[in-house]
Every structure is written in structure tokens, then in C-alpha cells.
Amino acid sequence: MGGLIFSEFDLMGPTMRILIGWDNPEECDLISLYLGVSENDLVICPTTEEFLEQALDNNSWDIILMTIMSPDPQTAFDHFEQIRQKHLDTPVVGACPTQGTFHVARFLTAGMRAYIIRDEGGDFMFLLETTLQSVVDSVKAERERFVAERLREEIESVRKLQESIIPSDLESPDRFDVTARYESSQIRVFGGQPVTLAGGDYYDVFMLDDENLVLLVGDASGHGMKACMSIMTMHTLVGMIRSNKYLDTAAFVSDVNNRLCNQAIVNDDGGFITLLYGILNAKTNEFQWTSAGAPIPIVHELETNKVYELGSIDDGGLPLGIVPEVEYDIHTSVVPPDSRLLIFTDGLAEAFPGEKETFGEFGIPGIMKSLQESRSNDLETALSNLFRDSNAFTDGSGRHDDTSVVLLGRKN
């Protein structure tokens, strides 16, 4: 392959992998000494032919250093363009004597990242490693910013896709009010900057007929596109099989489960969806519900300020998309006069404190306390307070799971 190879390794490996095309063989040894001290992996080519052969090979380099005057400026420029096509993502730094600086502009316009002025005494070598390292760091930072921006755009697209299926106008029968909210998980990274993650939470509220109001919350495992597509799949099924025969909540959940078990987007890599499907009969005030791994609904009686769950953990049922033909249970409760009914995904309760030495979670006790403290507030404020109190429990670090909440109020 040609060229003089100078490599020094320790347990940490090389700092930079550098290809150098140089036109002064006497300076090659000095360059190898200056750049080899920091365990850089160097390939120094003292002839144009060797340099071009190395540059057009399939090896990868962190940075390429080349003279822009050898064998002449035009040929060097032609070689530079070939190298740029071969190594589009690799920064190239040029070197030229003072009298050749007027050639630099052409190279810079064509994509050369930086240049070095070669003085006759060779003092430029003292700054050679610093210059190359700064270029490598600059390119790395640009790539990280680009990836971060693309990631942010992708997350934002997934988030918008997810939020597009969440209803904005909620119906409620006479004597009842209903409000709901979805919030993406939000964590803080270096520098305290918040990052909103895309997830797979979902809620829906709609009138099944003139008397029956459906209340639904779902949560797909994980984050990102897979979780979003899982919940979109469930949303599509909910829309397809919506009918009066599903006044039986257990039959509805069982049907959704059987269909989701055939959906690879849901159950690949152990994925699943939790679901709380409930129907409120506005005439009898009965709330029939079935849980597939979702948190148990909570009732808040405003007159006594009593808060309680409508069941136990044993009433949770198996999440959707794991095993077909699962039998789910129906639970029936009466929503008392002047009370509130809460259904939610586990992100509300599973808010953890930001301090490492602090343990525990916001949990059901935190939810109940927040409801009690909002006893005199209207429904919207009570819902806002739930999110505020859950998030405050994290000491500013943010909830690590997205959250959906539906809060129903019975007036009398």
C-alpha cells in the first residue's frame, strides 16, 4: 500500500486516525513525533501517489491533512475533489506556504475545513495536533447537533401523530361533566434542558348511545415509534368494533385483546398495551368497567372528601396483546351524587423524586391527596392540580412515563 505507518496504542486506543499527504520527506519524521505523542494513529505518505492510493482506499479516517501545492495547485485540487467524494464526512485540512495562501480560498469554497500555514522554520508543527483536534471536535459537535435536531424532529413527528388520535371535544350526558388530558413524559438531561419523549398513551371519551358514555385510557409499553404505532393500532380497533353489543365491557376488551395478539407491531419484543375500558350509564349512574392491566379507577366523594379505589390489584387483568382468548372480568360500581371518577394510566402514579437518595413514588396516596386538596376546585382545576402535584413530586426532573387521565364529575 505504500506510506510510512506510525501507530502507538495504549488501553484507551488511538486519539485520532490521521492520513497525511506531505511533500517534504525530511518533515515526515518530525510530524510523526509531534502527532504520535498522543497515541494518534498516523499514516504519512511522502509522495502524491502513495497519498492518493491511501485516500481512495476503503479505510476510514478521523481527519486528512494534505498539502495543496504538490505536485502543483491544480493537481492537488483535483486530488482533493476525489478525496471529498470518497470521504464526504471526513474533514480535510490543507497546508501551504505563505506565498501559496491565495490558493486556499478555492479549496475552502470546495469544502476544505481549515488550513495551516507552513513556515520555513517548521514552527507550525507545534500547533499541528491542536489544529487537527479542534477540527475533529468541531465536526463531531456539528454531527451531534445534526443528529440531536433530527431526533428532536422525529420525536416531535411521533408526538404529533400520537396526539392526532386524542379527542379534543369531549361529550358528556346531563348531570355529568368530563375533562381529560394527555402529557408526554419529560426528562431533563445535561444542562437541565427538558426533553419531551414520544410514547404510547391514549384516552378516548364518547357517547355509545343516548345513555351510555365510554371512558377509555390505554398505555402501550415503551416509548417512541413502536409505542405510538401500537396505540394507533388499538385506536383503529376501537373505532372498528364500536357498537352497542359492547355494552359488555369484558367482551369488548377480550375482542380487542384477541385482535392485538395478531399484531406484530404490538407484541414483538415483549410489547403489550394496558387498557381501562368503562361505560357510564347516565340513567342509573352505574359505571361498568374492565381492566387489562390498567390502574384501578378512583372515586372522590366531595361531600365527605372520601377517596377510594373501586377494586383491588387483583381486578387489574392481563395486559393486551400477550395471550389470546383471555377471560376478563366485569366490575360494576355506582358513581355517587356530587362525586368524581378518575381513570388514568400509570404514568400519573409512577412519578419518582429526582434526588437519588429519595425513594418512593407519587403513587395512589399522592393522587388521593391531590384530589382531596382540590375538593373545592372545579373539574378542570382539579385535573390540572393532579398533573402539577405529580410533576412536582419529581423535584423538576420530570415524569419518565407519559400520562393520560380522564376525570368525570357527577353533579347530583
For residues 128 and 248, state if they share a domain: no
Amino acid 364: pLDDT: 93
In this structure, is residue 151 part of a structural domain? no
Those residues with Cβ within 8 angstroms of residue 149's Cβ, 6 or more apart along the chain or in another chain: none
Number of domains in the chain: 2
For residues 267 and 394, state if they share a domain: yes
User: For residue 151, what is its C-alpha cell?
Assistant: 431526533
Main-chain dihedrals φ then ψ at residue 147, nearest 5 degrees:
-65, -40
% helix, strand, coil for the chain, step of 5: 40, 25, 35
In this structure, is residue 6 part of a structural domain? no
Q: How many CA atoms lie within 13 A of 160 on its CB side?
A: 6
Tell me how far apart the alpha carbons of residues 247 and 280 are, in angstroms, rounded to a whole number: 10
Among 70, 104, 139, the domain boundary falls at: 139
Distances (CA, A) of 158 to 86, 90, 197, 275, 340: 35, 32, 9, 21, 32
Amino acid 355: pLDDT: 56
Q: Is the dihedral of CA 97, 98, 101, 103 positive or negative?
A: negative
For residues 297 and 212, state if they share a domain: yes
For residues 171 and 51, state if they share a domain: no
Tell me how far apart the alpha carbons of residues 206 and 331 are, in angstroms, rounded to a whole number: 20
Q: Are the C-beta atoms of residues 258 and 250 closer than 8 Å to each other?
A: no
- Decide: residue 45, CB within 10 A, 0-12 exposed, 13-18 middle, 19+ buried: buried
Amino acid 274: pLDDT: 94
pLDDT in tens, the chain (412 residues): 445 544 443 434 458 999 999 999 889 999 998 898 888 999 999 999 999 999 999 889 999 999 999 999 999 999 999 999 999 999 999 999 999 899 999 999 999 999 999 998 889 999 999 999 999 999 999 998 888 888 777 777 777 777 778 887 898 999 999 999 988 775 544 444 555 555 678 899 999 888 999 999 999 887 767 787 888 888 888 887 666 667 899 999 999 999 899 888 787 777 899 999 999 999 999 999 999 999 999 999 999 999 999 998 889 899 999 999 999 999 999 999 999 999 999 888 887 776 544 567 888 999 999 999 999 999 999 999 999 998 888 776 666 678 899 999 998 8
For residues 210 and 264, state if they share a domain: yes
What is the three-class DSSP state of 377?
coil
Amino acid 1: pLDDT: 43
Tell me how far apart the alpha carbons of residues 71 and 78 are, in angstroms, rounded to a whole number: 11
In this structure, is residue 8 part of a structural domain? no
Q: Where are the beta strands (DSSP E) in 193-313?
A: 194-196, 201-207, 212-220, 273-281, 286-292, 298-301, 306-309
In this structure, is residue 294 part of a structural domain? yes
In this structure, is residue 32 part of a structural domain? yes
Distances (CA, A) of 147 to 91, 135, 140, 192: 18, 18, 10, 19
Q: Is the dihedral of CA 70, 74, 79, 85 positive or negative?
A: positive
Residue among 94, 28, 14, 96 at smallest CA distance from 61: 14
User: For residue 147, what is its C-alpha cell?
Assistant: 443528529
Distances (CA, A) of 68 to 63, 64, 124, 381: 15, 12, 16, 69
For residues 403 and 306, state if they share a domain: yes
Boundaries of domain holding 72 = 17-139
At 371, which CATH number? Answer: 3.60.40.10
Tell me how far apart the alpha carbons of residues 173 and 208 are, in angstroms, rounded to a whole number: 11
Tell me how far apart the alpha carbons of residues 154 and 350 are, in angstroms, rounded to a whole number: 26
